[in-house]
Structure 1
Amino acid sequence: MLELAADLLPLVERGVPVAAVTVTRVVRSAPRGVGATLAVTGDARVIGSISGGCVEGDAVMLGLDALRSGAVRRGSFGFTGPDDAIVAAGLACGGAVEVVAYPIDGTDPRVRAALMNAAAGRDTTLDLTLDDGPALTLHRPGRPRLIVLGAGEHAAALCRVGAAAGFAVTVCDVWALLVTRERFPEASELVVAPPHEYLASLETPDDRTAVCVLTHDERLDVPALRAALRLPVGFVGAMGSRATVARRAALLTQAGVTDAELGRLHSPLGLDLGAHTPEETALSVIAEIVAARTGAGARPLRSTLGPLHTDAAVGCATPTPVAAR
């Protein structure tokens, strides 16, 4: 439910009746993992997804039943045999899911506060007591953060793609003429300051924070990288040609950056997608950030074996782990 907070909060505040259908268990493979949620209003407006399409209709009907009855409803899709045996039915991927459908109590101050926090990108946990069984614990980690240093065309594209991928994007540059809302409408924060000074002012950087240096100016990117590599962030990258990367590494060493710190630097920045345009380059950068966070090999799925969907992968793509307890 918390993954849909930005859409649900306005409905709850207007008193619109709405129910949620949340995946509580996955067997084998499924398009969405545990915690995936679909919400439905009384007039059958659907928000979100639990399966990518193959059982959405049944899930909507279950949610409408919960909404109209005011009671918790449980269901399963894909289980067609005894003892959780799965036959090729229900889910196109061959897996199975269990779900719980429940009306959202918009008058509960805990629910409203949780939706507000999740919509604002803050780390949020909500325990729901269901009247027919164990409690449901909903958790949404704080929104991942992307700090883009430099405000050129590649930065504008990275801001667009990063925001679309769920990052809260900060853009920082020394030039006020470049750091404008018109150029970066998707940014959560715009900062006019020397990049290294801005990094020094950060209060709570963590491993969900990525820093990308796109200044193309050694006078700015060397001190910025030195500062970034000493922060407890999850990813530090810098754009540049092979020659630029080599020269910048030498300058960073001269500036006191250790080999261990330099080993954290992703440069040249991005995965090898054959990118040419700023948008294609931005896609390759976001792909590398996600791959670095998950520890994935960033190979084509057809060249890998094993399940396509894991809880860890779901958590990184749309961070909404849920557990029944």
Structure 2
Amino acid sequence: MLDIAEQLNLWHGAGRAFAVATVVGVSGSAPRGPGAALAVDVDGEAVGSISGGCVEGAVYELCQEVLSTGRPASKRFGYSDADAFAVGLTCGGLIDVFVQQVPPGASAGMDAALAYLRCGTSVALVRCIAGPDGLLGATVAVTTDTNHGSFERPELQRAALLHARAMLDTGRTGQVVLALDGRPCDPGVQNAATFFVESYVPAPRMIVFGAIDFAGAVARAGKFLGYDVTVCDARPVFTTERRFPDADRVVVDWPHRYLNAEAAAGRLDPRTVLCVLTHDEKFDVPLLERALRTPLAYVGAMGSRRTHLERLKRLREIGLTELEINKLRSPIGLDLGARTPEETAIAIVAEIVACRRGGGCLPLSDHDGPIHHDHPIGNEEQPAR
């Protein structure tokens, strides 16, 4: 729902009720993952998408039905062999969709979640998508230290909040099944409730070191992928906002000093990616010494094969272990034959996506394995190079 939160806040602020359909489960190959949403307001205006077009019409009608009745609804959509034009996913997957009405001011949990989203605060939205009638559709907003809304059952609420905070801490979205007394249980058990937890965290960071033309292209590609992008270099004549208009911030500082300050301030996390484009050892080595000892999602460094070997030698000399050195992606990027800054940026962000999602970096036409992977950013499993 994060991608449509801005419009939902506008409707909410104007006092317009709406119904929101959310993908709460996916099986097989599906266009969008859990948390994808489509919303329809009382005037019939729609925003968002849950399937890239396959079942949007049917979900739109389901939203209108929920707006009319006020009762939550669930529906599974899948591929139809009988009629290729029937409502279904032509990709062959299955998606489970939960739809609920959101009247202005009627849900403390939803109201708080939208407010937190508006100001960019990390929050988990917890909704009961299956369970007793009095619990179905109940919503609680959870932050690291507060919660808003209620499930009316103290043991169940306590357990749901514990699970939600653990998922928020790692940025995960998914289902939690609990018995009505709060104990974890399997799906389908009687006297149980299924909760869908959507974790919203600020955009992951991309820090690009080196104020060169390649950095500008990488910054543009990073913003396209949804990263919060910083460009940092010690040379003020090159490190200007005019040269890097796509970056969220442009910082003049020695790279290793800036990284140390950001780490000390707690502004780095396991989703952060670093692109070291300086290929100058007086910048690279002190920077990589700290970066490779920090739990980050990706650390890549630009340079020739010769530069790479010399860099490894220096890193070993200053005491980095082989385990730490093996975290370095160098030379940076996938082998696309890239030459221009734009092509090089695509090669770099392609490697970042592969690390984030667990991709094998092979053409899809060269294998018959899954198209989508489920390795979260920061996963220790790395794709083959």
Query: Does the TM-score normalized on the shorter chain lie above 0.5?
Result: yes
Say if 1:271 and 1:288, in contact at 8 Å, map to a contact too: yes
3-state DSSP of counterpart to 1:29: coil
**2:154 alignment counterpart:** none
CA distance, structure 1, for counterparts of residue 197 and residue 344 of structure 2: 38
Residues 164-220 of structure 1: per-residue CA shift (max 9 Å, x gap): 111111221123343333333332333221110111112332221111111232221
Larger RCO: 1 or 2 (CA < 8 Å, sep 6+) = 1
**1:258 alignment counterpart:** 321
CA distance, structure 2, for counterparts of residue 119 and residue 148 of structure 1: 27
**2:91 alignment counterpart:** 93
1:146 matched to 2:206:
yes
3-state DSSP of counterpart to 2:309: helix
CA distance, structure 1, for counterparts of residue 7 and residue 245 of structure 2: 20
Aligned CA RMSD, in angstroms, stands at 2.7
CA distance, structure 2, for counterparts of residue 185 and residue 286 of structure 1: 19
Say if 2:16 and 2:103, in contact at 8 Å, map to a contact too: no
Residues 118-165 of structure 1: per-residue CA shift (max 9 Å, x gap): 456554211235667354432234422211112221111111111111
User: How high is the TM-score relative to the length of structure 1?
Assistant: 0.84
CA distance, structure 2, for counterparts of residue 279 and residue 9 of structure 1: 36
- Report deviation, 1:42: 3.4
Identity of aligned pairs, percent? 44
Task: Give the partner amino acid of 1:168.
Answer: D
CA distance, structure 2, for counterparts of residue 8 and residue 177 of structure 1: 43
User: Judging changes above 3 Å, is the alpha-carbon distance between structure 1 residues 19 and 117 closer, same or farther for their aligned structure 2 residues?
Assistant: same
1:287 matched to 2:350:
yes
Residues matched between the structures, number: 310
Residues 239-295 of structure 1: per-residue CA shift (max 9 Å, x gap): 111122122222223333333222111010001122222122111111111212333
User: Judging changes above 3 Å, is the alpha-carbon distance between structure 1 residues 94 and 79 closer, same or farther for their aligned structure 2 residues?
Assistant: closer
**2:61 alignment counterpart:** 61
3-state DSSP of counterpart to 1:191: strand
Say if 2:239 and 2:251, in contact at 8 Å, map to a contact too: yes
Match of 1:171 among 231, 240, 251: 231
- Report deviation, 1:31: 1.5
Residues 288-310 of structure 1: per-residue CA shift (max 9 Å, x gap): 11212333211112223244335
User: Judging changes above 3 Å, is the alpha-carbon distance between structure 1 residues 25 and 260 closer, same or farther for their aligned structure 2 residues?
Assistant: closer
- Report deviation, 1:112: 4.0
3-state DSSP of counterpart to 2:125: strand
**1:52 alignment counterpart:** 52
Structure 1 residues not aligned, in runs of 5+: 317-325
Say if 1:118 and 1:142, in contact at 8 Å, map to a contact too: no
